[in-house]
């Protein structure tokens, strides 16, 4: 089972990521794209990575805006797996 990170550990790890925030339960990031099609392309790329990583983020889409929220359900919070997933997504 994955170990839930402390708030301090999450904040330290977030320093290496772009624009991700922590709300005490999950890490989250928002993107704005040129249009719906571009947003959907991004979501589909995230879906492929999620399947490969066996990680299933919360994805919210509103036209050209996408929000991702990552946490590990079995740990009831943020783990290293969530940080790793965010790092991979940032490379898109």
* Overall fold of domain 7-90: Gyrase A; domain 2 (3.30.1360)
Task: Determine the pLDDT at residue 54.
Answer: 92
Name the residue ranges covered by the structural domains of the chain.
Answer: 7-90
Stretches where the chain sits below pLDDT 50 are none
Rounded to 5°, angle at Cα 78 from 46 and 69: 35
Does residue 17 sit in helix, strand or coil?
coil
The rounded distance, in Å, linking the Cα atoms of 58 and 7 is: 20
Query: Which pLDDT belongs to residue 1?
Result: 76
């Amino acid at each position: 089972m994955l170990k839930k990170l402390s708030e301090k550990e999450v904040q330290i790890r977030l320093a290496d990521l772009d624009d991700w925030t922590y709300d005490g339960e999950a890490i989250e990031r928002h993107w704005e794209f040129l249009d719906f099609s571009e947003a959907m392309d991004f979501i589909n790329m995230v879906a492929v990575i999620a399947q490969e990583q066996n990680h299933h983020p919360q994805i919210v889409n509103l036209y050209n805006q996408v929000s991702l929220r990552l946490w590990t359900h079995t740990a009831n919070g943020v783990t290293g797996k969530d940080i790793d997933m965010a790092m991979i997504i940032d490379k898109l």
